[in-house]
Structure 1
Amino acid sequence: METFSIGDVDLVCPLDASRAAAALLDDRGMVIGWNEKARELLGYRAKDVVGLPAAQLLADENGARPGASVTDQPMTGTVILRHQDGHRVSFGIQACRVRQASGVGWLLVGAARTALSRWRMKQAILKGLFAQSPIGLAVYDTDQQLTWVNVAGDEVLAGLIGARADTMLPDVEYLSGLDDNDDTTRALERLLRTGEPLTTLTRARPPRDAERHHVWSSTIFRLRDETGEILGLCDAFTDVTTRYNDQQRLLLLSEAGLHISGRLDMTEIAAGLISVCVPRFAAAVTVDIEDPLLHGGESPFTTEVPALTRVAQNAIHERYLDADPPPYAVHYPAESAQTRSWTTGQAVTSKIRSATPAAGAPVSEPDDEPAEQLLVPLRTPRATIGMVTFLRSAQFDPFAEDDVSLAEELAARAAVSLDNAWRYAREHATALTLQQSLLPSGLPSQTAVEVAHRYLPARSSAGVGGDWFDLIPLSGTRVALVVGDVVGHGLQAAATMGRLRTTVRALANLDLAPDELLARLDDLVSQTPSAQEGPAAAEDTIGASCLYAVYDPVTRLCSIARAGHLPPAIVLPDGTVRLADAPAGPPLGVGGLPFETAEIELPEASVLALFTDGLVETRVRDLDTGLQRLQDLLAHPDLPLEKTCDRLVDALLHENPEDDAAILLARTHSLPEDAVTTWQLPPDPSVVADARALATDQLSAWNLEEAAFSTELIVSELVTNAIRYASGPISLRLIRDRSLICEVTDTGFTSPHLRRATNDEEGGRGLFLVAQCTERWGTRYHQGGKTIWAEQRLVS
């Protein structure tokens, strides 16, 4: 196969008289002249062929010979000649008539057909580059002036011959190839000096298509002649606009996905969308969303444009935006392009002359910069929920069909994320409402402790959790402090939390010891249907934790039991902080392991801090670090509890907590010594009268004579029952607090029952009378027996 090297730059035609084989014939076809090149190609010397008929040199003597047809025009063709050594040589020849002194003759020039074929191929290549190739060629002289372009180059640089390279196209942007501190002139001077080719990606508007930007991939190289002299530069460039724009659209879609996917806040989604679109896709972008959806509400499902709220906007210049920062309400006139886009559900483009594109109908102001806006509705399978407005100023290309498709794809992806965010907001609002309704709206008033509390729901994608707290007044001025945490988030966790809190309050009314209360709570959790169906179904209860503490202001003892929960922090009046040494029981629902109660004596004005793990443990802070930080913050017992709560929230919970957190702070108080009186009584019926007298005298000392009658009745009945149904010593105690409390303790474990006696019964009416005289009464058990107590409201 005939081949040739691209590097062979010899473009002179082989039939040129200066290099071709030549023979001169007379009018009879006899050879009368023969040059050296002919001898090199055919082997014959001039003396061997001069005087011979030229036809003898033909391999086929019957072939046509030059001059067979009389013409004054040059003739070309291919002949087969015989070499001196006998082999055949294919020759390309050109023949023309010449006038000689002896008459008209012929001049024949020729070359080997292979050399002629190579030259013709080079000519075809050059012709293709100059006239047919889509690759543009531009030649600049050493002064960087344009001197020549091929046909493809003329499509871009029409009418620019003689212009300098740095002034030909306005607003040229080098996408690659030049540094930010470089320019065209310096780059070309460096190329002329060093000879190192320059490859660039250039963006500009050509004269023949001034409305749209084109992108060219360009390679510029130095031109030198055979002597090495630098003649100028050649720029070979290709229009890659379509490919470049397609790549940029794919990149924009990819980056938009990163900015909007996985987010559950509508404002963040809208901000993420516009952050990637300005300035790469538009000069300004605004996002409007139906107002009810921002708060978890329902769409009005109307064909008209509903009330919208602008949640995000961004632009390359503030003149393209409304003056008010989002969020704010927007309204579109009935005849506006926005309304047409909303009602049809289709993207709409419109020309405007307004610096503020999204305030409603276009404003016609002659001095304003002409612009074009593209309106794309945010559609979900349910309805249209908002609108995205893209604005392009004169420095951008008009919106093309591919741009509209890209904008619709961006809006579709944003709509999916916004719909997910709306569903999350609705569920989050429902769960939060449920949880807040299940948490105590206000803690009851009592004397034992001064309290402050906080509950902060999670703001992450996990949603509302199951943290809770409570304060439960108990008999004898005691108070129960409770805090708990349910594994999981959402409605299920909130509902489970409500069930646990209700159960704890019911069990607390039985005056159970902390360890016994947790044991019964654990049994109930283990017996729930979800717990019996297996771990997957029971995840809302298995793993729930609870801390239950009872503080007695009379003895200043605090009894603590915990089920898989962190221990409380104790802050002593001198500022010493430590975690309570309370045994850790298993989480609720595990079953099979016992719970233990620890008793701690607390000085007056100590602070007991109960909390959930969301306060101290995060992804970036381990538990030990969080607990130490908590203790440092609590080491200020002189601060008001409300201020301490604020300090804990500010220091330990960032703006977007990953888990919900509950805090319950309690500053302990003790009853004055003169507010409690206790008597030990023998189990003898005769002491009943003495007990009444002792109680009456104490009431007189407390200036509570108005309660003497009812108190005598209560003491008489409770002491009589203790003597009748129990054995061992009896204790009578009166406590003056916000109410008057009478307690009788004995060694029996039989609980009295309130019943209505029949008309023929002499007894059985005592507890009924006690119930009528008191605000509430009950029984609590302890290791040595039981205590029956009754509270009377004191009239202030």
Structure 2
Amino acid sequence: MGPWGERLGPARSRERFLLGEPVEEGVRGAILHSWERCRLLGLSPDQSELPWTDEYDPDSRLVRAATPVLDRLANRFAGSRMNICLADANGTVLERRFGEPSLARSLPPIQTVPGFVFAERVAGTNGIGLALAERQLIRVHGAEHFAERSQANACAATPVRDQLSGRILGVLCFGYPRDDDDPALAVQVRRAAEAIERRLMEQSSARERALLRTYLDAARRARAGGPAGVNGRPGPVGLDELAGGLLAGRPLDPHDETILKEKAAELIGSPQRSTLEVVLPHGRGATLLSHAVTSPAGVAGVVVEAVLTGDAAPPAHSLATGPATTAQPTAAPAPAPATASAPATAPAPAAGSAPTGGGSGRGDVRGLVLVGEPEVGRYAVAARRRLELLAEASGRIGTTLDVSRTAWELAEVAVPRVADYVTIDLPEAVLRGEEAADPTAGLYRTVVHGIRDDCPFYPVGQRVELRPETPHMRSLTSGEAVLETDLTSATGWIAQGPDHARRILAHQVHSLICVPLLARGVLLGIATFYRSEDPEPFGEDDSRLAQELAARAALCIDNARQYTREHTLALSLQRSLLPRGLPELAAVEVAHRYLPAESGVGGDWFDVIPLSGTRVALVVGDVVGHGLLAAATMGRLRTAARNFAELELAPDELLTHLDNLLVRLDREESGDAEGSSGIVGATCLYAVYDPTTRQCTMARAGHPPPALVRPDGSVSLLDLPAGPPLGLGGLPFETAEVVLPEDSTLVLYTDGLVEDRERDIEAALDELQHALARAGRTPEDTCQAVIEAMAPAHPSDDIALLVARTHGHPAERIATWELPADPARVAGVRAAVTRQLAEWGLDELAFAAELMLSELVTNAVRYGGEPIQVRLIHDRALICEVADGSSTAPHLRRAASEDEGGRGLFLVAQLAQSWGTRYTPRGKVIWAECALDAA
């Protein structure tokens, strides 16, 4: 079974496709695209009939050119089950030939009679229709056909083009049973199509036919001395022998043929040269000979012959390509100068005469390559090549939204087909994404690209200072292209730097074109094209082509500039909304990483929030989407989360408040502009760690679960209730409590770390656990290890990573007293606090602590309820806490001069650096922190 052989993959893929299931593998892209078009057209795979029409020309240029080729193909495949078909540009069959003539009687009319239409729009996926749709050589095998009627067949088809216009005139298709598949058939059908194209070129110009007839008459006269030609040398190959040799399976290598035709086109347009030595691959050599020819009617033109030397040369009849103009089917040689012309009066040489500059050994092979008029057809071919280059530039320039890369793409397209060297200078402001205040100043060399690396242009990154008289500055100030045909006399260019100019001229650089990069009225910089290899200077046509390329590139550069500006603004906004630095806390050691997505700024964030009682809150979130809206929403949510955390809300309550906030923001965004989709949603994980109990309380809203690394290096993903994403509204969140061993590591992250299109999330989570499974690492080392193991080289989503190693608070630095609701016990508490502070060496704080606790305990006894608990915590500050069973919180107020109470909390606020209230399942806690140096 050949490389197109039947596989189960395409057949099964076709079945799944017809059932409406997604098809991702097992079918080639061109086939899948054709199937999709067939489905959109409403075609049925069971369709057996095709439209037939008699509105076609059975004697068209295409048919006349193809008939001899089709006849030779029928002979070539005699005895086989080959069905050879020629169709026009509409997919209508014009001619058929069969390897076995009896097939015409046994096959149905749809496969034998001209006039049936095989366009994809009516016949589905087939060789003729797909070759027209894809505009290239196409293979269709078995189940790749859309129609059931063609499942047992295979085919190879290729377009037939007019070489002057590039327009597709028709399709040549080989059809055969799928068991007769052979990779060589693709080569055969392509070469046969090229033979038809050559015959079309023969028909294209009566003047060139006259030139060819003159050449062949001279060749026949040269053969009059005998079969071997004059002086025992082989004569040139005639037209009939050429086509026969091509289809006899012994053609010149296509790559060699292309090279010879390129060089022959140069000779036809160049009067200064009559011979050209050509080095072909595999060490073979050839000499091209250019001769003037004048027809009896006075038409002057040029004929180019090739002489191949050596015993390894192919048969003579396979060398020549037939009569053609200077147009090339597949190659794109440098166009000849517009003023070139060949001598019109020189007689045609004797075909058997010894070629100058060519080999003269016994194994020499001589044949016709091209016939044409220097000025006829060359301009059309050159114009088509320019259009092809511009079309190619549209696809190759602007593939990214990077200013520098887009400038490089312009240079890569232009070298070597337009210029030998290209330099591009852009202002620093444009590279940053801004508009340059003065585009003629502050230019930096952004691109230097050419056929050689040693040409001494200013290097990339160097600041370029331009003198007013240079062609570059004249182009920038005028906004128009400037052409310098002779740099040796370009005084302004030389004055810019005489030594520098001499070094460039030493590399045979002789002319330049300066083109300003203008887009939407903004001057973005300048592109300069240099020529060295071609001795002819740049002309006006070259200047216009350079301007077209520069104009297209300038639009892409401006798009990239604006994107860079917006991306920079969004990234600056996002980074300003993220924590500049994390607090140093005794409860946790933290490290973090943030990697923005390449596609744009996202809404990932993280935070570490100190809470009362040495507790700490850890939060990680992710706003869906990218861009300024996502970054702004992230900033709102992070600010809200910090404010809600300051209110000492439980994790599930905090997420509920964030959910309500996001619903309101979504409503506001959707109502601002008609058609706005608003905010899609967000995920969040909020955890509160208490070092005095080593208990961590967590809740999540649609966020990936955190990972816990225990002191022994074992890793597990904590099983938390998932919770709905933020922004849905009205759905509850649940909390989970976990007691963390001393020196455990808690890892919080956003989904960009574990989710992408190229890997399964379960496998990614396993990979994450493997990367974390190591004991004794610092949070910073853990962050680095996770990023190296998990982060993709080109992240499509933001990644936020927060690693916290937890510590328990020493029990000897915590003192607790339980009290009944009795005012008489206040004095005892004050004495116990004084003793504890003395034990901790904090005697200087005794007065302030006694006074604060007196007020707080008195309030708890008078207004609260049992149980009442007093707790002192010796941390980076002295923390005094009084808990009671009431949920009623006191309020700070200013007492009047005649009031007997109301000054307690005022005194606490004056003595403490911060104070507040937090609620517990059993009541509330009023706390106050006093700095250790407050005395």
Tell me if TM exceeds 0.5: yes
Relative distance call for 1:587 and 1:321 in structure 2 (3 A) is farther
Q: Paired residue for 2:574, among 414, 435, 438?
A: 435
SS at match of 1:507: helix
Structure 1 CA distance, aligned partners of 2:495 and 2:756?
A: 44
CA distances 1:351-399 after superposition (whole Å, capped 9, x unpaired): 22499x9995672578552521111110012321111111111436432
Residue 400 of structure 2: aligned partner: 263
Amino acid of the structure 1 residue aligned with 2:276: P
Residue 451 of structure 2: aligned partner: 316
Residue 914 of structure 2: aligned partner: 776
Structure in which a larger fraction of residues adopt strand: 1
Is the Cα–Cα contact under 8 Å of residues 321 and 369 in structure 2 kept in the other structure? no
Relative distance call for 1:538 and 1:722 in structure 2 (3 A) is farther
Structure 2 CA distance, aligned partners of 1:716 and 1:748?
A: 18
Structure 1 CA distance, aligned partners of 2:762 and 2:673?
A: 29
Residue 695 of structure 2: aligned partner: 557
Is the Cα–Cα contact under 8 Å of residues 379 and 415 in structure 1 kept in the other structure? yes
Alignment of 1:287 with 2:424, yes or no, is: yes
What pairs up with 1:739-778 in 2 under 5 angstroms? 739-778=877-916
Deviation at 1:195, TM superposition (A): 3.3
| Paired residues, number | 642
Relative distance call for 1:281 and 1:681 in structure 2 (3 A) is same
Deviation at 1:485, TM superposition (A): 1.0
Residue 120 of structure 1: aligned partner: none
Deviation at 1:646, TM superposition (A): 2.3
CA distances 1:107-133 after superposition (whole Å, capped 9, x unpaired): xxxxxxxxxxxxxxxxxx9xx879965
Residue 327 of structure 1: aligned partner: 461
SS at match of 1:185: strand
What pairs up with 1:348-387 in 2 under 5 angstroms? 348-350=482-484, 351-353=486-488, 360=496, 363-364=501-502, 369-387=508-526
Amino acid of the structure 1 residue aligned with 2:416: P
Deviation at 1:168, TM superposition (A): 4.5
Larger Rg: 1
Is the Cα–Cα contact under 8 Å of residues 542 and 590 in structure 1 kept in the other structure? no
What pairs up with 1:227-626 in 2 under 5 angstroms? 237-238=371-372, 240-301=377-438, 305-322=440-457, 324=459, 326-350=460-484, 351-353=486-488, 360=496, 363-364=501-502, 369-395=508-534, 397-460=536-599, 463-528=600-665, 529-530=667-668, 533=671, 541-626=679-764
Relative distance call for 1:539 and 1:232 in structure 2 (3 A) is closer
SS at match of 2:602: coil
Is the Cα–Cα contact under 8 Å of residues 531 and 537 in structure 1 kept in the other structure? no
CA distances 1:222-246 after superposition (whole Å, capped 9, x unpaired): 99xxxxxx99856662354334323
Is the Cα–Cα contact under 8 Å of residues 315 and 365 in structure 2 kept in the other structure? no
CA distances 1:592-641 after superposition (whole Å, capped 9, x unpaired): 21001111111111111111112222232332232222222222242222
Residue 656 of structure 1: aligned partner: 794
Structure 2 CA distance, aligned partners of 1:712 and 1:698?
A: 11
Relative distance call for 1:242 and 1:557 in structure 2 (3 A) is same
Is the Cα–Cα contact under 8 Å of residues 331 and 359 in structure 1 kept in the other structure? no
SS at match of 1:515: helix
Alignment of 1:198 with 2:314, yes or no, is: no
What pairs up with 1:666-705 in 2 under 5 angstroms? 666-705=804-843
Alignment of 1:137 with 2:215, yes or no, is: yes
Alignment of 1:185 with 2:304, yes or no, is: no
Structure 2 CA distance, aligned partners of 1:231 and 1:522?
A: 84
Amino acid of the structure 1 residue aligned with 2:901: G
Amino acid of the structure 2 residue aligned with 1:526: V
RMSD: 3.9
Deviation at 1:455, TM superposition (A): 1.4
Relative distance call for 1:584 and 1:136 in structure 2 (3 A) is farther
Out of 670-679 and 276-285, give the one that drifted further.
Answer: 276-285
Structure 2 CA distance, aligned partners of 1:466 and 1:404?
A: 47
Structure 1 CA distance, aligned partners of 2:699 and 2:825?
A: 39
Relative distance call for 1:724 and 1:564 in structure 2 (3 A) is same
Deviation at 1:517, TM superposition (A): 0.6
Deviation at 1:734, TM superposition (A): 0.6
Deviation at 1:159, TM superposition (A): 10
Unaligned runs of 5+ in 1: 8-124, 161-166, 215-221, 224-229
Alignment of 1:169 with 2:291, yes or no, is: no
Q: State the TM-score, normalized to the length of structure 2.
A: 0.63
Unaligned runs of 5+ in 2: 1-63, 68-202, 223-228, 239-264, 287-305, 323-327, 344-350, 353-363
Is the Cα–Cα contact under 8 Å of residues 212 and 371 in structure 2 kept in the other structure? no
Amino acid of the structure 1 residue aligned with 2:548: E
Structure 1 CA distance, aligned partners of 2:642 and 2:470?
A: 60
Deviation at 1:409, TM superposition (A): 1.2
Structure 2 CA distance, aligned partners of 1:486 and 1:335?
A: 55
Relative distance call for 1:361 and 1:135 in structure 2 (3 A) is farther
Deviation at 1:581, TM superposition (A): 1.2
Amino acid of the structure 1 residue aligned with 2:449: N
Relative distance call for 1:652 and 1:329 in structure 2 (3 A) is farther
Amino acid of the structure 1 residue aligned with 2:519: T
Relative distance call for 1:780 and 1:194 in structure 2 (3 A) is same
Is the Cα–Cα contact under 8 Å of residues 334 and 417 in structure 2 kept in the other structure? no
CA distances 1:73-126 after superposition (whole Å, capped 9, x unpaired): xxxxxxxxxxxxxxxxxxxxxxxxxxxxxxxxxxxxxxxxxxxxxxxxxxxx9x
Deviation at 1:712, TM superposition (A): 1.0
Is the Cα–Cα contact under 8 Å of residues 307 and 367 in structure 2 kept in the other structure? no
Is the Cα–Cα contact under 8 Å of residues 509 and 530 in structure 2 kept in the other structure? no
SS at match of 1:719: helix
Relative distance call for 1:404 and 1:323 in structure 2 (3 A) is closer
Deviation at 1:262, TM superposition (A): 4.1
Amino acid of the structure 2 residue aligned with 1:170: L
Out of 748-757 and 135-144, give the one that drifted further.
Answer: 135-144
CA distances 1:450-508 after superposition (whole Å, capped 9, x unpaired): 01111122233xx2111111110000000000111112222221111111111111100
Structure 2 CA distance, aligned partners of 1:402 and 1:171?
A: 28
Deviation at 1:248, TM superposition (A): 2.5
Relative distance call for 1:208 and 1:470 in structure 2 (3 A) is closer
Residue 103 of structure 1: aligned partner: none
Structure 2 CA distance, aligned partners of 1:408 and 1:231?
A: 45
Is the Cα–Cα contact under 8 Å of residues 485 and 544 in structure 1 kept in the other structure? yes
Out of 235-244 and 131-140, give the one that drifted further.
Answer: 131-140
Is the Cα–Cα contact under 8 Å of residues 137 and 236 in structure 1 kept in the other structure? no
CA distances 1:211-268 after superposition (whole Å, capped 9, x unpaired): 7999xxxxxxx99xxxxxx998566623543343233322322222222234110111
Structure in which a larger fraction of residues adopt helix: 2
Is the Cα–Cα contact under 8 Å of residues 137 and 234 in structure 1 kept in the other structure? no
